A and B are shown apart, each in its own frame.
Chain A
Amino acid sequence: MSRIVGIDLGTTNSLVAYMDGNQPRVVLGQHEQAKVPSIVGMTDNGLIVGEAAKEHLLKDPSRTIYSVKRFMGKSLEDVTDEVKYFPYTLQEKNGVIRIVIGEKTYSPPQVSAMILKELKGRAEAQLKESITKAVITVPAYFNDSQRQATKDAGMIAGLEVLRIINEPTAAALAYGLQEKTRGCIAVYDLGGGTFDISILQLKDGIFEVLATNGNTHLGGDDIDRQVSDVFIKEIKEQFSIDPHNYSDLVQTIRLESERLKVKLSDDVKAKSEVELPDQKGTYQREWTRDELESLANNLIEQTLGPCQLALKDAGLQAAQIDEVVLVGGSTRMPLVRQRVEELFGKKPHCELNPDEVVALGAAVQADILSGNKKDMLLLDVTPLSLGIETMGGVMSALIRRNTTIPTSAKEMFTTYVDGQTSVDIHILQGERELVKDNRSLARFQLKMPPLPAAVPRVEVTFLIDANGMLNVTAKDIRTGEAQSVQVKPSHGLTDDEVEGMVRESFEFAAEDIKQRQVIEARTEADAILMATEKALLRGKSLIKENEVKGIYKILDELKAVKEVDDHRLIRSKISEVEKVTHHLAEVLMDATLKEALESKKLSEVT
């Protein structure tokens, strides 16, 4: 079986990891950096992803996409509060957000696919083999639509997603606690955009998740925002310019806020500086850790409620937790560590790099799936209750939250009117009583045989698989025949749309390859131009004047051709140059040889 990699597709950073024997390792890119910023930039010369895109963000914010994970599986209405913080325009089509860049629009899975492709490429470069299979992590509290969007992203990137696994449970796997622990573990995972808490019971290599809770809209990004707001307010007051009128300045402030926050995890004081446009000067400010903490305090408090709920669902008291594991970059903040320690009454584990631990765990899960590791098994739960709409807009729950997956529930449906040929079914996820307060997942129409009312009996099976994703099947009990169910996602791409995007991504790839070939040919042309001009300086006097003229002419032609976006044209001109300069090269070679011989003679004399 071909290799399966583990991917942490994060809000701010993404990583890919693999198994090296028995040891999970992250793939390192240039500068030994494992983290790839989850940023995608659209430039005139094609797509850029990661660190390069982060720089692009300051130059061309309206064509640079970051934090796309926040939009996965969401509608425009879900994100109205935060849209103002993003430099790009959002639209909605069929319940799915589209990001508008120039004349094109991109769905969040498409953008995530670009990041996945970058990771895939890095893994291929390091492992020197083609990578087509992956385990991808998601926040434990992701609903079905968000999971589906992640799976779609994998498909668009040309990856078969063998498993969607929850980030906190992945982290627990990475810690290898099974070797020394039998007991209860709490994993506290505060990332860039999401928060998860999972309570696990560990025994004989089985990781049984007892309960999970969280908030898919709470993370380090929100702390950055609070800091940015202070910057913006003070710049307005002190320099009387409104940063909101300069989208690149807003991004500079955002990145500076993030840098400041990170610095204040190590130091108790830090300086920040922002260069203002139009020669307005430089905004400077010294921050103390206390100041940052008073801003962040409220957000950190918001993570404690879900922790209590998860404990309650697991039927445990905080004191019964044996080990606490910290995951996610935001858990580097001393205040977060302090709060977690207070809650559970023990020092949390943070031996593994909190940025890498999720990807490492995904690689361990990949190892289990490839059949190499048989001593470990993860039994995860579904984070949210699943149900259907019943009379009066009330949700009737079929599968309760924190049920171990895979799990299924059966429900019998019949008709109310004679001859009725279909029944509409609306699937929901959430903990609230009323349909309108829960998440609409999908709808489908159940076909009914035309019979008197209440006679038909069609049994629908709602199955949540090991990915935490819903599968629906139906069977006519009277005939025993299975019925195919066409489920229409409320906030997801249809199969056709995903297929279209897979095709488009190939076109994109073709376009990318073409771009790269042009760039390579151009670079080669530049090198030839420089070398020939240098050779001419030395060799001009050694060849005929006509020949010199001929060489200058062909060089001018190459200079002209070089600007055209056609690598074949550039390459053919390069080989012409090589032909025309062949004689010059020989003459120079001879001269060099002669010089060498002469110097040798001299040396012999002395």
Chain B
Amino acid sequence: MARSMCWHCQSEVKGEYMCGQCVKVQPLSKDLDYFTCMRLPRLLDIDQEKLQETFYDLSRTFHPDFYSNKDDQEQIISLGNSALLNTAYRTLKDPIQRAEYLIRLEAGSVKEIRSNPPADLFDEILELQEDLEEYRSLSTDGDKARMEELRQKLNVNREALEQRQAQMESSLKKKFSEWDVLQRQSPQSTDAREEKDAVLKGMQEILSDKTYVRNIVNDLIETAS
């Protein structure tokens, strides 16, 4: 993390976060990615305990509580650094957010992760949506027998989708370790680019399917269980 110049005394900053000359805190670079910030390699299987340790350690360095005697500029920097640190920790702590962040980071050109229906489930889901619609409309004027019939059908669908979720979970895990293997072999992101991009793309597809299915399952639980 080479930063050129201290904002305060203009001397060269050699220390990691503080100026060696005037001991003022330095702003974290805007280009700093969360993995680097948390002193972690860009892998998806991370050591949670080490992550927390780094988070606590950096919190002790940057938290505004330790800057209330300092001048305004230092207080602003500590606030900004702390906010970035907290976001980095929150993002990396959660495996899904971590993967989504990695995809954004590695494949900058890839669009935001959208929630799309899985291609092979498209027809099935279309029918399911129609059933849900009908079920909802019945709940006000109520043909009880038809409602019960639909309810059972929807529940069967739900179970199938939940199974599908479990499948997606395990194939996602597989992709995670595929990434980690590639990354360990060639940590420089330019190497094995094609292979890595393919893994990332696969991950992204599963993530978007997963979001979609989760929303539907939540809908089903809320409406018809």
Complex: how many Å from CA A204 to CA B63?
Answer: 16
Please tell me if the beta carbons of A369 and B90 are within 8 angstroms of each other in the complex: no
Please tell me if the beta carbons of B65 and A404 are within 8 angstroms of each other in the complex: no
The yes or no answer to B89 lying at the interface (CB within 8 A) is yes
Residues of B within 8 A of A374 (CB): 60, 66
Please tell me if the beta carbons of B66 and A407 are within 8 angstroms of each other in the complex: no
The yes or no answer to B220 lying at the interface (CB within 8 A) is no
Please tell me if the beta carbons of A404 and B90 are within 8 angstroms of each other in the complex: yes
Partner of B65, one of A208, A377, A403, A408: A377
Q: Known interface pairs A204-B56, A465-B79. Does A369 touch B65 (Cβ–Cβ under 8 Å)?
A: yes
Please tell me if the beta carbons of A406 and B79 are within 8 angstroms of each other in the complex: yes
Please tell me if the beta carbons of A1 and B69 are within 8 angstroms of each other in the complex: yes
The yes or no answer to B82 lying at the interface (CB within 8 A) is yes
User: Chain A 324-348, CB within 8 Å of chain B: the 1/0 string?
Assistant: 0000000000000000000000000
User: Chain B's interface: helix, strand, loop or mixed, by majority?
Assistant: helix
Residues of B within 8 A of A377 (CB): 59-60, 63, 65-66
- Shortest CB-to-CB span from B171 to chain A, Å, is 24
- Shortest CB-to-CB span from B59 to chain A, Å, is 6
Number of interface residues of A (CB under 8 A): 25
Please tell me if the beta carbons of A403 and B86 are within 8 angstroms of each other in the complex: yes
Please tell me if the beta carbons of A408 and B56 are within 8 angstroms of each other in the complex: no
The yes or no answer to A445 lying at the interface (CB within 8 A) is no
Residues of B within 8 A of A403 (CB): 86, 90
Partner of B83, one of A204, A365, A369, A406: A406
Partner of A466, one of B65, B80, B89: B65
The yes or no answer to A487 lying at the interface (CB within 8 A) is no
The yes or no answer to A162 lying at the interface (CB within 8 A) is yes
Using a Cβ cutoff of 8 Å, how many contacts connect chains A and B? 58
Counting chain B residues whose Cβ lies within 8 A of the other chain, the interface size class is 10 to 19
Complex: how many Å from CA A463 to CA B84?
Answer: 11
Residues of A within 8 A of B60 (CB): 206, 374, 377
Residues of B19-67 contacting chain A, CB below 8 A: 52, 56, 59-60, 63-66
The yes or no answer to A370 lying at the interface (CB within 8 A) is yes
Residues of A within 8 A of B86 (CB): 379, 403-407
Residues of A within 8 A of B90 (CB): 403-404
Please tell me if the beta carbons of A203 and B69 are within 8 angstroms of each other in the complex: no
Please tell me if the beta carbons of A466 and B63 are within 8 angstroms of each other in the complex: yes
User: Chain B 64-88, CB within 8 Å of chain A: the 1/0 string?
Assistant: 1110110000000001101100110
Residue of A nearest to B56 (CB): A206
Residues of A within 8 A of B68 (CB): 162-163, 369-371
The yes or no answer to A276 lying at the interface (CB within 8 A) is no
Complex: how many Å from CA A369 to CA B64?
Answer: 9
The yes or no answer to A368 lying at the interface (CB within 8 A) is yes
The yes or no answer to A378 lying at the interface (CB within 8 A) is yes
Residues of A398-417 contacting chain B, CB below 8 A: 403-408
- Shortest CB-to-CB span from A362 to chain B, Å, is 13
User: Chain A 183-213, CB within 8 Å of chain B: the 1/0 string?
Assistant: 0000000000000000000011010100000
Complex: how many Å from CA A203 to CA B60?
Answer: 13
Complex: how many Å from CA A405 to CA B68?
Answer: 16
Q: Known interface pairs A377-B59, A379-B59. Does A371 touch B69 (Cβ–Cβ under 8 Å)?
A: yes
Complex: how many Å from CA A208 to CA B196?
Answer: 36
Residues of B147-184 contacting chain A, CB below 8 A: none
Complex: how many Å from CA A403 to CA B85?
Answer: 12
Residues of A295-334 contacting chain B, CB below 8 A: none
What are 25 sample pairs from A and B whose C-beta atoms fall under 8 A apart? A1-B69, A163-B68, A203-B52, A206-B56, A208-B56, A368-B65, A368-B66, A369-B65, A377-B59, A377-B60, A377-B63, A377-B65, A377-B66, A378-B65, A379-B86, A403-B86, A404-B86, A406-B83, A407-B87, A408-B83, A408-B87, A463-B79, A463-B83, A465-B79, A466-B79
Sample of 8 further A-B pairs with CB below 8 A, known A404-B86, A466-B65: A204-B56, A206-B59, A371-B68, A377-B60, A378-B65, A403-B90, A406-B86, A407-B86
What is the interface of chain A, defined by CB distance below 8 A to chain B? Answer: 1, 162-163, 203-204, 206, 208, 365, 368-371, 374, 377-379, 403-408, 463, 465-466
